[in-house]
Amino acid sequence: MKISNFAIRRPVFTLVSMFLVIILGLVSLLNIPLKLIPEINPPIGVVVVSYPGASPTEVVEKVTKPIEESLSTLPGLKTMSSTSQENSSLTLMQFSWTTTIDEVESEVQSRIDSTTIAEDANKPRFMKFDPSQFPVIQLSLSTDTDAKTLQDLAEALVTELNKAEGVASVSLAGTTVDEIKVVLDEDQLQKYVLTQQDIIDILRANSMSLPGNTVETEGKELTTRVISTIDSVKNLEQINITRDPSNGEKVTLADIAEVSLSPQDEDTITRANQEPALLVSVLQQSDANTAKVSDSFRAELDELLSQEKYEDIQSDILFDQGDFIQIAIGNMSNTLILGGLFAMLVLFFFLRSVKSPLIIGIAIPYSVIVTFVLMFFSNFTLNILTLGALALGIGMLVDNAIVVIENIYRHLSMGKEPKVAAADGTKEVGAAIIASTLTTVAVFLPVIFISGIIGQLFTEFALTIAFSLFASLFVALTVVPMLASRFLKQPKENIEVKRKDSHFMKSLEGLTKWSLRNRALVLVLTLIITAGSIFGLTTVGTEFLPSSDEGFFTVGVELENGASLSETEKTVREIEDVLSDKTEVDVYVSSIGSTQEGSVTGSGRTNRAEIYVKMKDLDDRTVSTFDFMDENKREIERAAKSANATAEVSLNVQSSSGSSPNTLTFNVKDNNANRLNEAVEQITEALDNLSDVTEVSTDLTDTVEEVQITVDRDKAFDEGLLPLQIASTINDVTRGTTALQLTDEDQNIYPVNVGYDRELTSNIDQLQELLIRKPDNTFIQLNEVTDITIGEGPTTINRIDQQSAVQFTVKFVSTTNLGDISSKVDAEIADLELSDDTEITFGGDRELLESSMDDLGLAFVLALVFIYLVMAAQFESFKHPFVIMVTVPLMVIGVAVALTATRTPVGLTAFIGIIVLAGIVVNNAIVLIDYINQKKEQGMKTYDAIIEAVKDRTRPILMTATTTILGLLPLAIGLGEGAEMNQPMGISVIGGLISSTFLTLFIIPIVYSLFDKETRRLNKKYVTPDGQLIPAYLIEETLEKNEVEQEEPESSVPATQGQPYKKQDMVYMLEEILKIVKDEDKDKK
């Protein structure tokens, strides 16, 4: 080949080019960002609306439904779900993966702006899903001093931490906010005929800054501004409210209310390891390198905590994605290096020399370095999938070099000069390795062009392998022949002849001939085994992505609706006691009265809590996070119920890849509320009986008791009141109202909350006596115009696609898989007599798995088509590529055995491994058939060419297969954290490669012989005069042997065989041939 000849003639130029690429690669490596997985941007958007004072029913009718109606016809909208609860509405839109959220953002914004919703509701806000909106680091801050000191120090610390490189924001949770409370005296208000709203209006009127028009003075035009500020509690107390009608004296705020600066009422509690603490969450900039953000933030944190000012603060890292990324990337890098070393050991074993393995070994680091260059210019990240791609290809990187060097060595054994042997050896196999590389790369073309999560997850993976394989091909065609021409010498003996005379080669030749004689038997057995393997694959189960042990999980706690914060806190403390006794637990932080869901909607619930649990490093514990959860769930549940019998506990894991391990979710939809509730009850009861299920929960919330105040419109009208006036008064009295923001001299800002003493509304009796001012400035009690009763109302209303819906969350043990549990759930639901109007749709990992499998199935079919087309172009034949494609089903045998033996379900990464296999397994057949064709072109008969190809090509085939298998071994073992993602891929490729490599040596010769005219009738039988059957291949072998013997000087051929046998004389010579064959059989025995 020209490029090889050029490299052989210009060694210095080739070496200089190599060094330049190596330098460029190292620089690229230092600048490639580190991430856990490729960035995924799901087409998801959320519309959030705040509606203060509204019940869930009001929210759904006046806000949620109008927004749903407006958004339901958006282009590309796949599904829409909504949650309506007190004070807020959240509508989540999921678009098809072919739609980007940026494409529809303006349309969504336009529609929600033009939607008519309740007047008192705030303006709807649209938010895109952005991975940078989720914390990359969470930590707790605690101290031995008082809570006020901790908060002051923490706020100062957070201000400094915001300056860390790559940090977008640092937030604190669990802090208390000081406010100025104005507690009104109801008797004084009645005395002066005032209401709460009057006070609010007066305070606002006294705290203002309004611009006026310009005024000309001393030749200048100056702007005017009217200023009236309140900058202290004392000034606030002195605000004049009215005059005493009895004496005309001024009545100040202090005369009718108690004014004080104090903390807001506590609605959340945060603890770390059972001690008061604050929770710090760190968000990174959208384009930041997570690992670098983690390093810079932790360095800044350590430096600040070492200062005297912060020496009393203790910090516990709860979650650090950057740290996990570095550990996972480090483990994958070790896997990569270990795989390369294993591949090198294989080379030393086969080649039994130092020079050849070292020449071939150059392909590994050089190909990887070239890949880094291409990754950098393609704006890829270094993540566990791109590193997994390199680890997957590490054994294949030497394949081309092995074929070239082995063939060069064979030509050296023939007595050729090194440069001639290098040029001829490379030329002879050049076309074959180009074709094999193209077929391997071709399998990734469909993956690159597939949209959705498959495309976003595996595009970088596919291109990374393609980059590395093209780099290895370049090395094999340039660097390897150049180095071989300089360092390899002619062997002292003809190793090629010695190798062919070895016991292994003779046995292999015998097995090949036997398989050719028994083509039907071998093919039928192979077909049966393959069919059984395909069936076996259906029994291993399925999963979306492998569960990765990140050492972090949450405990969700929910008590009955209406439970107080103190009751929830007591329940959480019991769970904390259990966790404190577990040696595997490193740190846990409890957030009581607040959850992650509540942080999105801006609402909290006193009956809920969340405990964030960080496990010790994997090396310091004996159980995985998932096993720990399975083993301790019941103990945690018992502890919670011992404090409150209504407590419900759920243990959850959300992996960094976005999947939810050991979780199945589905939705039940029905517009009839009674039918829906009945279906939910039946399904819950059925699933609770499944042995592998640990928890069945729904988002169907129980109704909560509430005080329902019904306005008697006739009585209210007689008193000059409207229902809205009464409702506004009750809302202000029970909630309090922020009248203004007070800024003191130190620029501290405090909200001024105007309200009544809580005792005034602590029970229904007192609420009934609440005074409402009438238009004639007299007062009337609330119970005179309303009926007050205790009723029930919903806390949350969920809808999916504009229908009432309930979401099920099914947790299952880590020893089963998503596919198996899905089948069991489907069977249970199928046995229920549900209404035809009740619709069930699956979401979460199952929905992603099913859509992904469809995409991957299409990718696999397209990959096979591309492989066939590449080979057809290479061989200039449609027949030979078909023969080669026979190797693809052979891989199923090994894949099924490997996945079954290791109990590995078929998931995305395992399926990607199967697709990759399709491109790998054909390479051995390509090398074999290409060699057969070359021998035939040289005049050899087909049968002999097949035997010769098997003998000559088995060694490089075994070498390439073994280097790939052992190179993948560390990946399949799954060494360390983060390796779980790629482990199924390694297992499936190793299994498939073992079976296909072994069977290729026998099945491909058989299939080739069936397609070739010369050997198609190889097993045709002839009948001797005495009725015996002789296969044609025995006649062929005997005739060939006889012809060889006649050419020898001292031949022992019988006199009757004085002339070479002609094929047309076969029928008349069968007895003689049969006698020869029988004599040979006796000699062998």
pLDDT score recorded for residue 41: 79
Alpha helices (H) along 173-288: 186-191, 196-206, 233-237, 253-256
Q: Is residue 78 part of a domain?
A: yes
Could you report the per-residue pLDDT of 204-240, keeping only the tens digit for each? Answer: 888 887 887 888 777 778 888 788 888 888 888 899 9
Q: Is residue 173 part of a domain?
A: no
Helices (H) and strands (E) in the chain, counts: 39, 34
pLDDT score recorded for residue 601: 47
Q: Name the pLDDT band for 604 (thresholds 50, 70, 90).
A: low
Query: How many whole angstroms separate alpha carbon 508 and alpha carbon 974?
Result: 35
3-state secondary structure of 102: helix
Same domain, 412 and 495: yes
Number of domains in the chain: 4
User: Percent of the chain scored above 70 by pLDDT?
Assistant: 90
Do the Cβ atoms of 599 and 46 come closer than 8 Å? no
Q: Name the pLDDT band for 630 (thresholds 50, 70, 90).
A: confident
Q: Is residue 921 part of a domain?
A: yes
Could you report the per-residue pLDDT of 265-284, keeping only the tens digit for each? Answer: 777 888 888 888 888 889 88
Q: Is 1015 left (phi over 0), alpha (psi -120 to 50) or beta?
A: alpha
User: Percent of the chain scored above 90 by pLDDT?
Assistant: 12
- By DSSP bridging, strand 220-222 and strand 215-217 are antiparallel
Last residue of a domain, one of 618, 644, 670: 644
Do the Cβ atoms of 655 and 328 come closer than 8 Å? no
Could you report the per-residue pLDDT of 347-394, keeping only the tens digit for each? Answer: 788 777 778 788 877 878 888 898 999 999 988 888 888 888 888 777
Q: What is the mean pLDDT of the chain?
A: 83
Do the Cβ atoms of 571 and 930 come closer than 8 Å? no
Asked if residue 1068 has pLDDT above 70, the reply is no
Same domain, 989 and 937: yes
Q: Name the pLDDT band for 1031 (thresholds 50, 70, 90).
A: low
Do the Cβ atoms of 151 and 266 come closer than 8 Å? no
Query: How many whole angstroms separate alpha carbon 977 and alpha carbon 330?
Result: 9
Q: Is residue 297 part of a domain?
A: no
Q: Name the pLDDT band for 574 (thresholds 50, 70, 90).
A: very high
Q: Is residue 842 part of a domain?
A: no
Q: Is residue 504 part of a domain?
A: yes
Lowest mean pLDDT among 116-130, 287-301, 786-800: 786-800
Could you report the per-residue pLDDT of 536-551, keeping only the tens digit for each? Answer: 888 888 888 887 788 8
Same domain, 487 and 590: no
pLDDT score recorded for residue 67: 93
Asked if residue 597 has pLDDT above 60, the reply is no
3-state secondary structure of 114: coil
Q: Is residue 925 part of a domain?
A: yes
- Could you give the angle at the alpha carbon of 277 between the alpha carbons of 271 and 278, nearest 5°? 110
pLDDT score recorded for residue 1058: 42
Which domain range does residue 1067 map to? 1021-1084
Last residue of a domain, one of 626, 644, 662: 644
pLDDT score recorded for residue 210: 82
Asked if residue 570 has pLDDT above 60, the reply is yes
Lowest mean pLDDT among 591-605, 624-638, 798-812, 995-1009: 591-605
Residues in the chain: 1085
Asked if residue 1047 has pLDDT above 70, the reply is no
CATH number of the domain that residue 593 is part of: 3.30.70.1430
Same domain, 887 and 980: yes
- Residue that wins the pLDDT comparison between 669 and 37: 669
Do the Cβ atoms of 16 and 478 come closer than 8 Å? no
Q: Is residue 56 part of a domain?
A: yes
Query: How many whole angstroms separate alpha carbon 931 and alpha carbon 942?
Result: 11
pLDDT score recorded for residue 1037: 59
Phi, psi torsion values for 619, nearest 5 degrees? -70, -20
Could you report the per-residue pLDDT of 867-882, keeping only the tens digit for each? Answer: 899 888 888 888 888 8
pLDDT score recorded for residue 996: 92
Same domain, 879 and 898: yes
- Residue that wins the pLDDT comparison between 596 and 414: 414
The token duo for 928 is 């074999």
* Mean pLDDT of the region 127-153: 83
Same domain, 379 and 458: yes
Same domain, 464 and 402: yes
Asked if residue 1063 has pLDDT above 50, the reply is no
Same domain, 999 and 870: yes
Last residue of a domain, one of 112, 129, 146: 129
pLDDT score recorded for residue 334: 82
Same domain, 950 and 1057: no
CATH number of the domain that residue 994 is part of: 1.20.1640.10
- By DSSP bridging, strand 178-184 and strand 749-756 are parallel
Q: Please state the separation of Cα 608 from the chain's center in Å.
A: 28
- Could you give the angle at the alpha carbon of 1017 between the alpha carbons of 1013 and 1020, nearest 5°? 165
Asked if residue 762 has pLDDT above 70, the reply is no
Same domain, 963 and 1077: no
Rg of the chain's alpha carbons, rounded to an integer?
A: 40
Query: How many whole angstroms separate alpha carbon 633 and alpha carbon 694?
Result: 9
* Closest by CA position to 267, among listed 149, 174, 154: 174
3-state secondary structure of 1007: helix
Same domain, 89 and 18: no
Could you report the per-residue pLDDT of 768-827, keeping only the tens digit for each? Answer: 888 888 888 888 888 888 888 887 777 788 888 888 888 898 988 888 888 889 999 999
The token duo for 879 is 């027949």
Could you report the per-residue pLDDT of 700-712, keeping only the tens digit for each? Answer: 766 667 788 888 8
Same domain, 16 and 100: no
Could you report the per-residue pLDDT of 41-58, keeping only the tens digit for each? Answer: 788 899 999 888 788 888
Angle, to 10 degrees, between the axis of helix 321-351 and the axis of helix 290-305? 130
Largest CA distance in the chain: 155
Could you report the per-residue pLDDT of 455-481, keeping only the tens digit for each? Answer: 788 888 888 988 988 888 888 898 889
The token duo for 315 is 């910090």
